[in-house]
Chains A and B, each alone.
Chain A
Amino acid sequence: MPSIRQNTFSDLLPDFRNLGVIARVLVAVNAVAMIAAIYAAPSLRGAMERFIEDAAFLEPLLFVEVAMLFALSRQLGRMTYRGGCAAVVLLAAALAVIYQIAVSGMEQTPGALLRGAFFAALLAGVLLGYFRLLVKAFSPALAEARLQALQARIRPHFLFNSINAVLALIRRDPKRAERTLEDLADLFRSLVSDARRFVRLSDEIALLERYAEIEQLRLGDRLRITWELDAAPSDALLPPLVLQPLLENAVYHGVEPATEPGNVLVHIERRGNRVVARIENALIETEAERAGNRMALDNIRERLALFFDAEARMDTRTDGGRYRVEIDMPYLTRARTAEG
């Protein structure tokens, strides 16, 4: 199974093909140029002129750097973290020297060349540090995810009722009782598994089906799930336990509180280089609100950000008496891993 390296995320270079990462680099470098211009120029007007002048010089170099990192992203990913960082810093310095020579010919003094290289390397180093901090800031979400998974995801309510349902089956339908216990075991295995691993969509879908099987046993024909999975790319990778909690929420809020049967829709499809998953349930109006699902949603959102940065979105909306959660994430088939 593909996995993110086993130690921690902070020991991994940023994904230079990720839009979020690219955008952060562009903004950060321009911000530094702007600050330098304001510092160097006597007036605000002068600062603007200076900045535009600098930017005209800087921007082509910046694009070349970003493009090089994009192209070399896989090779960099194969290196150790320290080696990768050194390579990125050297690359920045080297490109700065080559670019200066290309633009102004040989008339640059070695001192000026060196100074350019030094600033490029410094900036690259600072940015790498920033990405490391960013990932560290998100890391608690991972540790928490497992705890929450156990405590809240699989609600105790669900566990005890499921065991009760199995007890009711043992005498009448021992085969189904066995299968249900196996399903429960699979569900719990995934909950205690490593939250840092990417999982294949087909595995996550299998988990959804196991979970649905158990709920079906408890709720009978009150639960009607429509599966729209024909266009689901089974080889897509995603963080674990992103879809199952959403299905559980849908059952908990959209089916259990209703006296009439409730429909839940699970729709997963590939749209070009995106994977879109949508889970819908009926909106039940009761005066007594059931315990909120904010926590599960927030945690999923954080983990999506950690795995995909700005390239994944999760939206919730209600209309026409239905509650919808939609996740839109990049279609990845190979994790960024040390093994490549």
Chain B
Amino acid sequence: MSVLRVFIADDEAPARERLKELLQDIAEEVPTEVVGEARHGLEAIERIPGSGAQVLLLDIEMPGMRGLEVARHLVGLEGSPAVVFVTAHDKHAVEAFELSALDYLLKPVRAQRLAAALKRAAAGRAPDGEQLARAHNDAREYLSVTERHRIVLVPVRDIVFLRAEQKYVTLRTKLRSHLIEESLIALEREFARRFVRIHRNCLVARDAIRGFERAAPSNDEPHWMVVLDGIEERLPVSRRQWPTLRELVDEQNLK
């Protein structure tokens, strides 16, 4: 058996030490090499892509970004590692893992279980996005753009609008825009509290809406455009969405 490249992500130093100890203990059964460690979720996202890890031992409760979200951002990565989740006590996460057939270990981890999980991981594949999305009930805090060996994170709270164009969705912040491979419908469902649909192909951050302008009636009937905070571009509101948006604006004005 070739040496398995393992990455450890856990915010508690003793927990990382313990896993390394156990990996040594089972080295004869499953030879491994630790190729990287991370102390929190954001560090994991930064370090995993260049590490060449085949298996990721991923703690659930981490500051910065929780384990499940970390796993979701790794999905698009070339040669993304198989994931074994590790949790001390998270009833909901464990239920979700069971339902989505994701592999997990409970802390304190037993050497035997770790060996078995690593063998399965070496034989299996990285979890797919759908599987992870099902296990992850919360909305993500970031959307990610995967470059060849790098994951660029965009905080959801910085996003002004999301617009579907053909295969991709354009994600626009005040500073720049990115292309992401996600469906607008799934995004609308996940971030319903943050974004509102203004058009068949476009979601806008509720708190970025500054007002509405009537577009000059050039050829056909007049329609409304959304004025957004920090962005020059005006976005058209579909006739179908207009009543919902007007209510939203009335509510805001009342406040």
Binding site for B on A (CB under 8 A): 155-157, 159-161, 163-165, 167-169, 171-172, 217-220, 222, 256-259, 286-288
The CA of A180 and the CA of B89, in the complex, are separated in Å by: 20
Q: Which 8 A-B pairs have the closest CB atoms?
A: A168-B18, A168-B14, A160-B88, A165-B14, A156-B89, A259-B64, A168-B17, A164-B108
The CA of A73 and the CA of B39, in the complex, are separated in Å by: 59
The CA of A155 and the CA of B89, in the complex, are separated in Å by: 9
CB <8 Å contact, B17 and A172: yes
Q: Can you show 24 pairs from A to B with CB atoms below 8 A apart? A: A157-B89, A160-B108, A161-B12, A161-B88, A164-B14, A164-B18, A165-B15, A167-B18, A167-B108, A168-B14, A218-B12, A218-B14, A218-B15, A222-B11, A256-B11, A256-B61, A256-B63, A258-B63, A259-B39, A259-B40, A259-B63, A287-B139, A288-B66, A288-B138
A residues less than 8 Å from B108 (CB atoms): 160, 163-164, 167
B interface SS class? loop
Q: How far is the CB of A69 from chain B (nearest CB, A)?
A: 51
Q: How far is the CB of B67 from chain A (nearest CB, A)?
A: 12
A residues less than 8 Å from B11 (CB atoms): 222, 256
Q: Judge whether B188 is part of the interface by a CB distance below 8 angstroms.
A: no
A residues less than 8 Å from B139 (CB atoms): 287
CB <8 Å contact, B63 and A161: no
Q: How far is the CB of A42 from chain B (nearest CB, A)?
A: 53
Q: Which of A156, A168, A169, A219 has the most CB of B within 10 A?
A: A168
Besides the known contacts A157-B88, A219-B12, 13 further A-B residue pairs in the complex with CB atoms under 8 A apart: A156-B88, A156-B89, A157-B89, A160-B88, A161-B88, A164-B12, A164-B15, A168-B14, A169-B14, A218-B15, A259-B64, A287-B138, A287-B156
Asked whether A288 and B63 contact (CB < 8 A) given A168-B14, A168-B21, the answer is: no
The CA of A80 and the CA of B46, in the complex, are separated in Å by: 70
B residues less than 8 Å from A171 (CB atoms): 21
The CA of A286 and the CA of B42, in the complex, are separated in Å by: 14
Q: A171 — nearest CB in chain B belongs to which residue?
A: B21
Asked whether A165 and B12 contact (CB < 8 A) given A171-B21, A288-B66, A288-B141, the answer is: yes
The CA of A219 and the CA of B39, in the complex, are separated in Å by: 11
Q: How far is the CB of A310 from chain B (nearest CB, A)?
A: 38
Segment 35-71 of B: residues with Cβ below 8 Å from A: 39-40, 42-43, 61, 63-64, 66
A interface SS class? helix
What per-residue 1/0 map shows which CB atoms of B136-178 lie under 8 Å from chain A? 0011010000000000000011000000000000000000000
The CA of A259 and the CA of B11, in the complex, are separated in Å by: 9
What per-residue 1/0 map shows which CB atoms of B187-201 lie under 8 Å from chain A? 000000000000000
Q: Judge whether B13 is part of the interface by a CB distance below 8 angstroms.
A: yes
Contact of A259 among B12, B42, B88 (CB under 8 A): B42
Asked whether A287 and B61 contact (CB < 8 A) given A157-B89, A161-B88, A217-B14, the answer is: no
Q: Judge whether B234 is part of the interface by a CB distance below 8 angstroms.
A: no
Q: Judge whether B107 is part of the interface by a CB distance below 8 angstroms.
A: yes
CB <8 Å contact, A287 and B141: yes
The CA of A118 and the CA of B139, in the complex, are separated in Å by: 70
Q: How far is the CB of A226 from chain B (nearest CB, A)?
A: 21
What per-residue 1/0 map shows which CB atoms of B13-27 lie under 8 Å from chain A? 111011001000000
Contact of A160 among B39, B66, B107 (CB under 8 A): B107
B residues less than 8 Å from A220 (CB atoms): 12-13
The CA of A219 and the CA of B62, in the complex, are separated in Å by: 12
Segment 124-138 of B: residues with Cβ below 8 Å from A: 138
The CA of A171 and the CA of B17, in the complex, are separated in Å by: 11
Q: Which of A160, A164, A220, A286 has the most CB of B within 10 A?
A: A164
B residues less than 8 Å from A219 (CB atoms): 12
CB <8 Å contact, A160 and B89: yes
B residues less than 8 Å from A157 (CB atoms): 61, 88-90
The CA of A219 and the CA of B17, in the complex, are separated in Å by: 13
Q: How far is the CB of A214 from chain B (nearest CB, A)?
A: 11
A residues less than 8 Å from B156 (CB atoms): 287
B residues less than 8 Å from A163 (CB atoms): 108
A residues less than 8 Å from B138 (CB atoms): 287-288
Q: How far is the CB of B10 from chain A (nearest CB, A)?
A: 10
CB <8 Å contact, B15 and A161: yes
Q: How far is the CB of B132 from chain A (nearest CB, A)?
A: 16
B residues less than 8 Å from A159 (CB atoms): 89
The CA of A316 and the CA of B255, in the complex, are separated in Å by: 27
